[in-house]
Structure formats: structure tokens, C-alpha cells
Amino acid sequence: MLVSAKEMLNKAKEGKYAVGQFNINNLEWTKAILQTAQELNSPVILGVSEGAGKYMCGYTTVVGMVSAMINELGITVPVALHLDHGSYEAAKKCIEAGFSSIMFDGSHYPIEENIEKTKELVDICNKKGISLEAEVGAIGGEEDGVIGGGEVADPNECKMIADLGVTMLAAGIGNIHGKYPANWQGLSFDTLAAIQELTGTMPLVLHGGTGIPADMIKKAISLGVSKINVNTECQLSFAAATRKYIEAGKDLEGKGFDPRKLLADGTAAIKETVKEKMELFGSVNKA
């Protein structure tokens, strides 16, 4: 059964570790992440972007696939199915479809509008027992080859959004999606500390988990980060292992062209990446 992310994140905040959000794109990724979480006895959050939702034939297909997989694989660790960076419209669709957790990314709206829309979603999600993540301060990333630096959130705005009753809060602290540029300034721990000071027990979310050095991850967790999102690193390990398989000519041997065989090494690589992250975040044996 899918669960809200609320309890697992409150426990993580209290226990000073973080739960990983790993983004899914297809059946193989989903299975690999669920199996690794079960093997390590770790709670897990499956992230679905709007694009990935479309790719997987819509949100109801995703809910059906993940729910069935939890049953078929005998998964007993807590699993939340979470919309990643959702628009207001996508948030409503995912609530209808049966997601157990939603991120409404209103960071590009003026703060008043972000508050208004977040507030409406807080009411809907509370009634249905769904966790809700809000965002303040845009998280940078690559767009058309240009890497934008992350916008640093205003701690007072974070407090305003946190007070609306959201479950967890993503705040930009210089983190970006995808690879970090060579001249990256690092995370702004002063900002994180100020946000944590004002928002108290609210679990904080760190996006752009790929490529942040381990010591920074640990420091962020010590300053109240309880959920860390990872996507690009799984893509990189999946692509590298699949490329190696093809470059070695293995797809031309025997039945190597069978998609189940073709994707096996990449899928195994995702398991390794997820394991590494769960160990770093400290969520192993916390289910």
C-alpha cells in the first residue's frame, strides 16, 4: 500500500537522517528502486515528474503499476508515490489518480500567489491524508545548455509557506538539478540554518542530490534536511552500464538483444546507486 510521506519524514527529521526520493521513468527503474529499499529495510519515495508521468501513459497507469508491484514483490517498507515539481493542474490530477504525496512547485509565482495556491492544496491534501511539498526559491539547473545557479530562498518566505501546514518544504540553497558546474559555490548553509531556525520541526527537502559531495550532504542533514531527491545520478549509472553492455557487443551474442537482457546491467547499476545513496543518507534499517 502507498503511504503519505509525512510519518517517514517526521521520523527522519527526528532521527537526523534523510529519506531518498528517486525518480522513476519505467517499470525497470521502479522495480529496481523498490527491491533495493526492501533489501535495505529503508523507507523510500518514488518521484514522478510531469514528463515521466506522460511517458508512462498517465498518472493512473503509474499508480496502478506501483501499487501492483508493491503487492507482487511483497514490499513491506513504507513507499510514497510523489509528484515531483508539479504544476497546480498536475497536482490536482495526481490527487485524483491516487498519488500519496504531491509537490506543488509554485516557486515561479509571486509569493502571494504561491501562498494562495499552496493553501488550497494543503486543504485538499489534508482531507485525503496526502503529504504536500511546497517550494520557495527556484532550484537552478540546465536549460538549453545554460546552467542557471540556484536562487537562494528568503527564510521569512519559507516560514510563511511552512505555516500554511505543508508536510515538507523545498528551499533553494544554491542547489541545482543535474551536474554542478566547475565553479559552483556550494550549498548556502547559512541560509539553511536560518530556514531551519524559523521552520522548526518541518522536514526540509534538498533537490538536486546528484553530485553534492558527501560531507555537504551530511551537513545538510544535520541542519534539518530530511528528504533528498536524486534523479540524474541514476540516469548516468543506467546509461553508462547499458552503453558498456552494447559496446562490448553483448547485445549481439545469443539472445542479448532481448530487452530484458539489454536493460539488466543498467537496472543493476541503478540498484547500486540507490544503495549508495540510502547508506549515505542514513535511511538503511529505518523502515
Catalytic sites, residue numbers: 84
Is 178 a binding residue for ligand 13P by CB under 6 A? The answer is yes
Considering the complex, state which of residue 188 and residue 245 has its C-beta at the smaller distance from ligand 13P: 188
Q: Measuring CA to CA, which residue among 157, 176, 172 is closest to residue 204?
A: 172
Cα gap 233→179, rounded to integer Å? 9
Is 277 a binding residue for ligand 13P by CB under 6 A? The answer is no
Compute the C-alpha angle 140/56/146, nearest 5°: 20
Output Rg (C-alpha) for the chain, integer angstroms.
18
DSSP assignments along 262-287, one per residue: HTHHHHHHHHHHHHHHHHHHT-TT--
Contact segment (CB under 6 A) with ligand 13P among 53-61, 188-196, 227-235, 274-282 equals 227-235
Considering the complex, state which of residue 216 and residue 262 has its C-beta at the smaller distance from ligand 13P: 216
Is 101 a binding residue for ligand 13P by CB under 6 A? The answer is no
State the number of binding residues for ligand 13P (CB under 6 A): 15
Span 38-97, contacts to ligand 13P by CB under 6 A: 47, 84-85
The torsion angles phi and psi of 254, rounded to 5 degrees, stand at 45, -125
Convert residues 181-210 into a mask of x (bound to ligand 13P by CB under 6 A) and - (unbound). Answer: --------------------------xxxx
Among 38, 42, 196, 229, binds ligand 13P (CB under 6 A): 229
Is 232 a binding residue for ligand 13P by CB under 6 A? The answer is yes
Q: Which residues contact 277 (CB under 8 A, 6 or more apart)?
A: 20, 22, 209, 228, 230, 233
Considering the complex, state which of residue 169 and residue 245 has its C-beta at the smaller distance from ligand 13P: 169
Considering the complex, state which of residue 210 and residue 237 has its C-beta at the smaller distance from ligand 13P: 210
Cα gap 285→287, rounded to integer Å? 6
Q: How far is the CB of 205 from ligand 13P (least distance, A)?
A: 9
Convert residues 132-171 into a mask of x (bound to ligand 13P by CB under 6 A) and - (unbound). Answer: ----------------------------------------
- Distances in Å between the Cα of 134 and the Cα atoms of 115, 168, 170, 219 are 9, 7, 6, 22
Q: How far is the CB of 177 from ligand 13P (least distance, A)?
A: 4
Cβ(206)–Cβ(225) under 8 Å?
yes
Contact segment (CB under 6 A) with ligand 13P among 60-68, 188-196, 226-234, 255-263 equals 226-234
Among 45, 233, 237, 269, binds ligand 13P (CB under 6 A): 233
Cα gap 56→36, rounded to integer Å? 21
Cβ(100)–Cβ(70) under 8 Å?
no
Considering the complex, state which of residue 173 and residue 245 has its C-beta at the smaller distance from ligand 13P: 173
Show the beta-strand stretches assigned E in the chain.
19-23, 44-48, 79-86, 101-104, 131-136, 141-143, 146-148, 168-171, 204-206, 225-230
Q: How far is the CB of 85 from ligand 13P (least distance, A)?
A: 6
Q: How far is the CB of 139 from ligand 13P (least distance, A)?
A: 7
> CB 1: neighbour CB atoms within 10 A?
10
Task: Give the footprint of ligand 13P on this chain (CB under 6 A).
Answer: 23, 47, 84-85, 177-178, 207-210, 229-233
